[in-house]
Chains A and B, each alone.
Chain A
Amino acid sequence: MKLQSLNRPGWLAVLPALLFTLVFFILPFVGMSIASLTAKGEAFPTLSNYAQFFTKWAYLQGLVNSLEITVIVTVVSILIAYPFAWILANVVPERWQRVALLLAVLPFWTSYVVRSYSWLLVLAEQGIVNDTLQLFGFMDEPVQLANTRFATVTGFVHFFVMLLTLTIYANLKQLSPNYRRAAADLGAGPFRVFWHVILPLTLPGIMVGAFLTFVLAIGDYVTPQILGGNTELVLPQVIMMQFQRRNDIPLSAALSIVLMGVITVVYFACAKWLKLERT
């Protein structure tokens, strides 16, 4: 039962948060939207910024690169993280699981910038990977690993494997052990228990993790900028370029809105899929 007639304290309490969100989030977003509809030498409103996105190949390419990289990262991260989370949840003895999990996500606490930098070290021409490859005779000369799409994907996968291990582990742990027992009791071997029962039941959790991965990766500027070099730019890099180098605020605003649009579309697709799963 809530205090009906004395709502004033309630409004007073929520007001700071509401005002803050309105002034420092909604308003800037509205401002950005309005800015995206302006252009030098043209009357307001104009769609020329958005038109540029569809006509100039460089911008569209940015989005395409973003999507390609993000999808690869999402799939690879899930494929690596799921078995790993499974092993942590089911093979590692119970009392070591917390420690094992903590160890698995410890590198989370290196600063984001630092983490990408350390991959630069690992993948450098004189770095450990190249040295090892040459040591075992796979190559005669160092291979360009850093400043490539491969490096960007590796940097992303590293981060998201940790994140997804956490979420998938939590998902697996909260499944009642009786599901496995019941399936086994009815004649299913370990693989069929997994295929018919565990996998379908963890699929919604994987979906949520995949969505999180997608959203975080597609909007990220740091990792591609440090590891990807300047060849295949992703959309955030394109946005930053318009902003910093060419100081074209309306265009970067428009590109940002396009990015948001893509994320929103994916959000609704995932939400729809999750709702279908429920029924």
Chain B
Amino acid sequence: MMRALAIAYAVAVYVFIFLPVAMLILFSFQGSQVPVPPFNGPSLKWYAAVLSDKRLTAGLFNSLAVALISSAVATVIGFLAAWGFARYTLKWAGFWKGLISLPLAVSYLIIAMGLLIFFNWAGLPKSLFAVGIGHVVINMPLCFAIIYSQMTETHANIERAARDLGAADWQVLTMVTAPMLWPALFASFFLSVTFSWDEFVISFLLTRFDTTLPVEIWNLLRGGLSPKTNAVGSLVFGVSVILVILFELLAFRKKTA
């Protein structure tokens, strides 16, 4: 009896969780003009509309570019910082580490506003480049935390062995440390891409004309409920799911290998 109740509850929660996504995807194939019941379809016209919308495709490309580049930067400088703190005893290390991790505790809205005020004062224009910087600010602490937690004594000993055999610091980093920490680096990069790809507030405040996909979708919302928004939302969701499945498969293959 308890078991039946438990299963019923779980199903109810699953329905709650999937309801909006189901509506989103279903009505992206809507035949009529409004993405609400009744369903007249299926039709692919909205997907066609999305793919031919220059603003949306530009937004998609911009999102990808910003996500990949800013995540790469965040991962690299996060990795270097993690290595520096893990392998060397630096003065006031605790304080510096805390400083680097600080952005994790601050709302994106505040980070965005701070950067906007700062760029205004410095005379820098709103741009995708500014968004990239904002995304590095929010993602770098995460990369640092993940990679730092994976740097163990075992790794340190392997690096010592490499030095003993004559490797210079930069060689140790690129040929020994980075490959050893590949899972952490990959996880940091992937997580950063996920957060950057989906990020709205910083992109919203720091761009003017060229903007990222979430902001373009936001602009679409001005026009009220439209199956076109459903279509682009479903596409974004589909791509994300595929990426996650790929990640899961890659991670699993690592475990059995």
In the complex, B161 has a CB within 8 A of chain A: no
In the complex, A83 has a CB within 8 A of chain B: yes
In the complex, B167 has a CB within 8 A of chain A: no
Instruction: Give the shortest distance, in Å, between B254 (CB) and chain A (any CB).
Output: 15
Determine the chain B residues whose CB is within 8 A of the CB of A28 once the complex forms: 111, 114-115, 117-118
What 0/1 pattern do residues 1 to 41 of B give for CB contact below 8 A with A?
Answer: 00100110110011011111101100100000011110000
Instruction: Give the shortest distance, in Å, between B117 (CB) and chain A (any CB).
Output: 5
Interface positions, chain B 106-147, Cβ under 8 Å from A, are 106-111, 113-115, 117-118, 121, 133-134, 136-137, 140, 144
Question: Are B84 and A103 within 8 A (Cβ)?
Answer: no
Partner of A226 from the list B85, B88, B221 (CB cut-off 8 Å) is B221
Determine the chain B residues whose CB is within 8 A of the CB of A180 once the complex forms: none
In the complex, A172 has a CB within 8 A of chain B: no
Interface positions, chain A 230-279, Cβ under 8 Å from B, are 236, 239-240, 243, 249, 252-253, 256, 259-260, 263, 267
Binds B, one of A1-9, A39-47, A52-60, A199-207: A1-9
What 0/1 pattern do residues 194 to 229 of A give for CB contact below 8 A with B?
Answer: 000000000000000000000110111110001000
Chain A residue nearest in CB terms to B107 = A219
Determine the chain B residues whose CB is within 8 A of the CB of A263 once the complex forms: 105, 107
The majority secondary structure among interface residues of chain B is helix
Partner of B233 from the list A4, A24, A117, A215 (CB cut-off 8 Å) is A117
Starting from the known contacts A114-B232, A124-B225, A260-B110, 10 additional A-B residue pairs (CB-CB under 8 Å) come to A10-B87, A18-B81, A24-B134, A31-B118, A92-B10, A117-B221, A158-B20, A219-B108, A243-B113, A259-B109
Interface CB pairs A-B, < 8 A, 12: A3-B87, A12-B84, A13-B80, A14-B84, A18-B81, A20-B77, A24-B134, A35-B117, A124-B225, A128-B19, A161-B16, A236-B109
